[in-house]
């Protein structure tokens, strides 16, 4: 009772939005609990096709394909797209699902230093000998709340004839003027070829993932992508949630703007209180503490004050870079944000972090 959640990926608060919940109930009643089938046998209903069309429209891409999760979308894309003659260049801090997806493919693998454009350029030069090059990066990195330099990445990709893939799990729905994501924020929507993202965070928080991009790529994935071919189709209630979440976001960007204003409030008040917050303008606000034990006892004490946050330490983040990762949501009120800052200030003083 009275505990405020500051550690969910529910950036826009849509998981408790009455219209999202109603859409799920309606889909459940009209289309059933589930299809007991993969998509290409008898697992495709009109709502699956409609959601794929809506996702493509939202991202201004040609087509989209649904998966049970973004983990699956990442696991399925590299193997289907790349051959042993090709190369994939991956940021060293990419999400585990991208790393696993790359492991499954037979392309030549290059890992560049986190957001280091000199290193990426060196690797792109080295990779010129291959048939095709794909640069893969998270749009926003979830541990630090930092945003990939997509403009520079796209310039290098153009110079060295490479395709760009971004994972937008921590960007879809709220980054950029219309919440389209990192590519919109940085003005490169026409330069990023492939987007993978999740329905399990800002877009209602239920489950599901997708790839959106050129139609021939989506056609190829429907033929070859193993998590799509060999895993059950998304349940109607889950499709209903995501579909309604996208409708709400395409009608207005007010929810995303309210979240951005609250992020700004939290970041500036915490900085003024003396804390170091990693990243910039992103609702992932890592409160950097350094020491693993400090992060863990402070998180415990925050809970005693009604603020639910979690400490992250090695091996989830590098040694000596322990932190409490706060995530801001549109459902937080200004009073909630202020209560969180006050609790951090008290707890920080008590444990010598300030
Ligand atoms: N990619 C990133 C960057 C993520 O943060 C996550 C979720 O933690 C995923 C992919 C996997 O998404 P899903 O939960 O839809 O499998």
Cα separation, 249 vs 256, whole angstroms: 8
> Which residue bears the tokens 């087509």?
63
Residue showing tokens 């492991």? 103
Mean pLDDT of 161-189: 97
- Ligand 1 pocket test: which of 99, 169, 284 has the largest number of ligand atoms within 8 Å of its C-beta? 169
Which protein residue has the closest C-alpha to ligand 1 atom 4?
A: 169
CB atoms within 10 A of CB 68: 19
Helix (H/G/I), strand (E/B), else coil: 21: helix
Tokens 């550690």 belong to: 7
Query: Which residues are within 8 A (CB) of 255 and not within 5 positions of it... i.e. 6 or more apart?
Result: 12, 13, 14, 248, 249, 330
By alpha-carbon position, which residue is closest to atom 12 of ligand 1? 70
Helix (H, G, I), strand (E, B) or coil at 188: coil
| pLDDT tens per residue, range 125-161 | 999 999 999 999 999 999 999 999 999 999 999 999 9
Q: Given ligand 1 and candidates 97, 208, 238, which is best to mutate, with the most ligand atoms within 8 Å of its CB? A: 97
Q: Is the pLDDT of residue 266 over 70?
A: yes
Map residue 11 onto helix, strand or coil.
coil
Q: 272: CA distance to ligand 1 center in Å?
A: 32
Domain spans, the chain: 16-251, 253-351
Instruction: For residue 209, give the ligand 1 atom closest to its CA.
Output: 15
pTM, rounded to two decimals? 0.97
Q: Where on the phi/psi map is residue 313: left (φ > 0), alpha (ψ -120 to 50), or beta?
A: beta
Q: Which residues have CB under 6 Å of ligand 1?
A: 69-71, 74, 95, 97, 138, 142, 167, 169-170, 198, 200, 209
pLDDT value for 169: 98
CA dist., res. 105 & res. 101, Å (int)? 7
pLDDT band of 264, cuts 50, 70, 90 = very high
Ligand 1 mean position, distance from CA 7 (Å): 15
Beta bridge partners of 91: 112
DSSP 89: E
pLDDT band at 259 (very low <50, low <70, confident <90, very high): very high
| pLDDT tens digits, 46-57 | 999 999 999 999
Confidence of residue 290 (pLDDT cuts 50, 70, 90): very high
Atom of ligand 1 nearest to the CA of 198: 15
Helix (H) or strand (E) holding 57: helix 46-59
Q: What's the pLDDT score for residue 25?
A: 98
Nearest alpha-carbon partner for 204 in 72, 55, 347: 55
Domain 16-251 fold is: 3.40.640
**How many angstroms separate the CA atoms of 243 and 223, rounded?**
24
Peptide bond into 73 cis (omega under 30): no
Cα of 169 to ligand 1 centre, how many Å?
6
Is residue 86 within 8 Å of 236, Cβ to Cβ?
A: no
What phi-psi label fits residue 32: left (phi over 0), alpha (psi between -120 and 50 degrees) or beta? left
Give the Cα separation of 117 and 87 in Å (integer): 17
What's the rounded Cα separation, in Å, for the pair 290 and 235?
A: 42
Distance 300 CA to ligand 1 centre (A): 26
Q: What is the DSSP letter of 235?
A: P
- Please state, rounded to an integer, the average pLDDT across all residues of the chain: 97
**Fold that domain 253-351 belongs to in CATH:** 3.90.1150
Tokens of 294: 């400090």
For residue 261, how far is its CA from the centre of ligand 1 (angstroms)?
25
Q: Do the beta carbons of residue 93 and residue 70 sit within 8 Å? A: no
Instruction: Report the pLDDT value the prediction gives residue 50, as an integer from 0 to 100.
Output: 98
Among 140, 96, 143, 138, residue whose Cα is nearest residue 288: 143
Catalytic positions: 142, 170, 201
Q: Are 54 and 243 in contact (CB under 8 A)?
A: yes
Query: Do 16-251 and 253-351 show the same overall fold?
Result: no
Above 80 in pLDDT, residue 1? no
């Amino acid at each position: 009772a009275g505990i405020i959640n500051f550690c969910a990926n529910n950036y826009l608060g849509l998981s408790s939005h009455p219209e999202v919940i109603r859409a799920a109930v309606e889909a459940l009643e009209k289309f059933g609990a589930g299809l007991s089938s993969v998509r290409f046998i008898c697992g495709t209903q009109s709502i699956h096709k409609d959601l794929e069309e809506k996702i493509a429209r939202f991202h201004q891409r040609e087509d989209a394909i649904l998966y049970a999760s973004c983990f699956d979308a990442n696991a399925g894309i590299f193997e289907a797209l790349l051959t042993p003659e090709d190369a994939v260049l991956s940021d060293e801090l990419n999400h585990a699902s991208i790393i696993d997806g790359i492991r499954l493919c037979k392309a030549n693998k290059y890992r560049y230093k986190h957001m280091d454009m000199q290193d990426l350029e060196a690797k792109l030069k080295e990779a010129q000998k291959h048939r095709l090059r794909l640069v893969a990066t998270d749009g926003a990195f979830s541990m630090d709340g930092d945003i990939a330099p997509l403009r520079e990445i796209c310039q290098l990709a153009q110079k060295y004839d490479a395709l760009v893939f971004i994972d937008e799990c921590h960007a879809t729905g709220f980054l950029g003027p219309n919440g389209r994501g990192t590519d919109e924020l940085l003005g490169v929507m026409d330069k990023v070829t492939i987007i993978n993202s999740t329905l399990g965070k800002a877009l209602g928080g239920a489950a599901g993932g997708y790839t959106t991009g050129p139609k021939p790529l989506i056609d190829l994935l429907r033929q070859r992508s193993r998590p799509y071919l060999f895993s059950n189709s998304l349940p109607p209630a889950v499709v209903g949630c995501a579909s309604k979440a996208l409708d709400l976001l395409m009608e207005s960007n007010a929810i995303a703007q309210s979240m951005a204003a609250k992020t700004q409030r939290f970041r500036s008040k915490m900085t003024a209180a003396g804390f170091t917050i990693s990243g910039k303008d992103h609702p992932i606000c890592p409160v950097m503490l350094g020491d693993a034990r400090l992060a863990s006892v402070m998180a415990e004490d925050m809970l005693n004050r009604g603020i639910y946050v979690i400490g992250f330490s090695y091996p989830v983040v590098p040694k000596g870079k322990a932190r409490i990762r706060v995530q801001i949501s549109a459902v937080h009120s200004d009073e909630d944000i202020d209560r969180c800052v006050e609790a951090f200030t008290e707890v920080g003083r008590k444990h010598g972090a300030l």
